[in-house]
Structure formats: C-alpha cells, structure tokens
Structure 1
Amino acid sequence: MWPWSKRNSASECAATIRARLEAMPSVVPPSPWLQVQRMTIGGLYGVGFGENSDDLLVVSSQGRGLFNCLSGERTARDDDTTYINPDSTGMTEPGIGSWSSLQIPIAGIHGGGLGARTTDGWSLDVVQLPWPFHVIFLTSNSKDFLDTTASVSKICVTDTYEFRAAGFSPTGRSLIIAQSGELIIFSRAKG
C-alpha cells in the first residue's frame, strides 16, 4: 500500500518514504545471491559487461582488469594506462583478454548504465538517500522497491567511496557494485 492519500501532502508522503527507507538495515543480498568477490581498486572510474556475458571490464587509474563475475576470478589484466581509446567520450573502452578485439560499453564517472532488471523479476534501484550517499536496493518478484509489500533488501550504502555504477550482467546471473575504490561482485546459479 502506498503511504499517501488525499489528505497527505506530497512532502509528507516523501518524508514517510524517506524515513522508512533510511530505517531499513543494510543486509547481504538474499538467496540465491552470493558474494564472490570484494576488492579494493584504487581510482576505479568505469565498468562494463561483455555482450551476453558475465565478463566485467573494470577501468581504473591503474589500468584495466577483466573479471568472470560467476567465480569472481580476474581473468586478464593490463596495467598499461597509456593505451589509446578511440572513443573520446569515455562511454566505451577497448576490451582486454577474450574481449580484446571489441569496445565494451562502460558505466561510471562519465555516465552510462548497467542493467537494472533481470528477466526473472529481480531489480536494482540506486537512490541518493541521504544525499550525497547512494543506497542500493535489491528487489525480487518484479516489485517496486517503494512497495511496502515487496521483498526489498538494502544491500549497500556508498558512504566510504564515490558511487560509480551498479547493475546486473546481461545474463542476469551476476550483479556488481562499483565505487571509486571498491568492486563488489555477487552471482547466482542459473535460473
């Protein structure tokens, strides 16, 4: 049920919603999600998935890394920061490893975005609450994170590093949270 009615003003409703969301405890994502990697990456500024895969390209001031998000394993590394990127917008980056012949779409400091929904009903919502922090909510069963009947988990508050991106892989089997100094990877079994 939505917290507004004809007698409540929009600001009262917003305050009620904000208080409820801020009061939620941060938790680990529910089953079937498992954390497979959490690592410090200084100067992280963008991430992007290879097409139809769980391979994640991570771009930082230290170079580029390629991660298999199902296992959390780093599969390739290029610490050369002087490579040439033909895309001057920073919205794509040259791949490395098995993706070395392609430009990978990137989400991060220059904009862009990762998948916010999976085909089986999981969704990820990123909200600035309270500003300037970003709070990431994971919801199942195709529900909205504001719906009080939904199964909503507050899985991260970005109060240590600057937010860069959060989202699902194209397969829906991985989800990541990227911040200026940290990468967190979760995965789940097929289905």
Structure 2
Amino acid sequence: MLSAYQQRLRERFLAVPEIPAPAPWRRVLDRRTPVGGLQGIGFGAAPDDGRDLVLVFSGSGLGVFDATTGEKLARDRDAEDAMPESAPDLSCEGIGPLAGTRVRMAGWFGGGLHTGTDDGWGVEVVSPEWPHHRVLLSRGSGMPHDGPHGERWWHIHDASSCELRAAGFSPSGRTLAVATSSDLTLWTRPAVPPADGGP
C-alpha cells in the first residue's frame, strides 16, 4: 500500500507530459533509432578524437553508433558469442572503431550506466504505472522532482510501449542514452570545460 507521499509522487509523475531535454542538451536524431531485440548498450571513446561511441548488443549482433550524429559506424551480425552475461564484468569486445577494446554493458542482463555527471546533471527512472517506465533528467542537488517540472526536472522519455533496457550518461557526461527493447534514443551536449579551468 502506498503512503500519502508516495501517492502524491506517483500522481505527479503521471501528470507531467514528455518534453524535450533543456539546453545544452540536444536530441541526436528527430526520432528514436530502431534496434529490434535490443538487449544492452555500453559507451566507448573514438580512438581518433575521444568522442562518445555507443556499442549496442541485440538479437542480431553488435552495432556501433556515433553518439553525436547517430550514424551507424560498424555492424557485426555474427557476434552471438559476444553476449555480455558470459563475461564476469558484463563487457563485450568492441567492433569497428572500438575493436580491441572491452566495453562494459548495461541491459536486461544487468549492469548500469552513470546516473550523474560531474557538473550536476542526473537521470532517474521511475515507474508510476509499473512496468511502464519514465526517464527523468534533472539538474541540481536534492530531490529533483521537488522543483517545478520543466525548470529543475524534465520527463524526457516515456518507455510505456516497450521494455526499458538501460538509461544513463556516458563516462564523459557528454551523452545521455535511453535504450529499450526496440530502440535507442541519444542526447548530446558540448564538451564540459574542466572545473579547474585547465585544458
């Protein structure tokens, strides 16, 4: 049985619409990228310039996407032996620009992505109508949903039509990903300057 506070929170989450993420975040593509049978994702860095890359594991193999453009950079349909749950650290061997690199994965088999950035952004998954999930982006400390929706927290993704696999930030904090059983959605932002003012 829900407490009065839990009921108010549930009603609040159900009442707010899905809205775009605030600046400086921008959605990489206007639509969600379809990936049938998506099982998990992980982040790696491009060897040439360090930009974020996303490794996707699905029922039809592995794929690598550029997190800033959404472009598919590599595909391997014969990667059945790359299943992350067979590795003790839930990692996959990368392909294409991530070849030779082990990438930690998160998805239906376990694991997790970063839920916060060094400069105060946070991501949270809530389920006011379980098993349907909503992804919330927030900025600042404390309980993010105490402030006004659209000012301190944003409902940016509704995964009610499919199963959520993973949601979180890249290690650099420049990319936010939401992966479901049928698609991948990415947001990106410019590189964050170091807090000490260094290069």
TM-score with structure 2 length normalisation?
0.84
Hey, what does 1:184 align to over in structure 2? 185
Change (3 A) 1:88 1:75: same
**After superposition, what is the alpha-carbon deviation per residue over 1:77-97, rounded to whole angstroms, capped at 9, x for unaligned?**
111144455861571111111
Deviation at 1:13, TM superposition (A): 1.2
Residue 80 of structure 1 aligns with an amino acid whose one-letter code is D
| Structure 1 residue corresponding to 2:41, chosen from 47, 71, 77 | 47
- Alpha carbon RMSD of aligned pairs, Å? 2.0
More moved, 57-66 vs 30-39 = 30-39
Q: How does 1:92-111 map to 2 (within 5 A)?
A: 92-111=91-110
Deviation at 1:25, TM superposition (A): 1.2
Q: Secondary structure at the match of 2:100?
A: coil
Hey, what does 2:169 align to over in structure 1? 168
**After superposition, what is the alpha-carbon deviation per residue over 1:155-185, rounded to whole angstroms, capped at 9, x for unaligned?**
1111111100010111111101000001001
Change (3 A) 1:126 1:80: same
Hey, what does 1:17 align to over in structure 2? 9
State whether residues 34 and 186 of structure 1, in contact with CA within 8 Å, keep that contact through their aligned partners in structure 2. Answer: yes
| Structure 1 residue corresponding to 2:66, chosen from 56, 65, 68 | 68
Q: How does 1:106-121 map to 2 (within 5 A)?
A: 106-121=105-120
State whether residues 125 and 145 of structure 1, in contact with CA within 8 Å, keep that contact through their aligned partners in structure 2. Answer: no
More moved, 137-146 vs 53-62 = 137-146
Change (3 A) 1:165 1:85: closer
Change (3 A) 1:59 1:85: closer
Q: Secondary structure at the match of 1:146?
A: helix
State whether residues 85 and 109 of structure 2, in contact with CA within 8 Å, keep that contact through their aligned partners in structure 1. Answer: no
More moved, 47-56 vs 152-161 = 47-56
State whether residues 53 and 169 of structure 1, in contact with CA within 8 Å, keep that contact through their aligned partners in structure 2. Answer: no
Change (3 A) 1:173 1:143: farther
1:29 aligns with 2:21: yes
Structure 2, unaligned runs of 5 or more: 193-199
Aligned residues: 182
Q: Secondary structure at the match of 1:47?
A: strand
- Name the CA distance, whole Å, in 2 between partners of 1:158 and 1:82: 27
Deviation at 1:146, TM superposition (A): 2.9
- Name the CA distance, whole Å, in 2 between partners of 1:153 and 1:140: 9
Hey, what does 1:3 align to over in structure 2? none
Deviation at 1:143, TM superposition (A): 4.3
Percent of aligned pairs with the same amino acid = 38
Deviation at 1:140, TM superposition (A): 1.2
State whether residues 53 and 170 of structure 1, in contact with CA within 8 Å, keep that contact through their aligned partners in structure 2. Answer: no
Q: Secondary structure at the match of 1:50?
A: strand
Structure 1, unaligned runs of 5 or more: 1-9
Change (3 A) 1:86 1:112: closer
State whether residues 87 and 93 of structure 1, in contact with CA within 8 Å, keep that contact through their aligned partners in structure 2. Answer: no
State whether residues 69 and 187 of structure 1, in contact with CA within 8 Å, keep that contact through their aligned partners in structure 2. Answer: yes
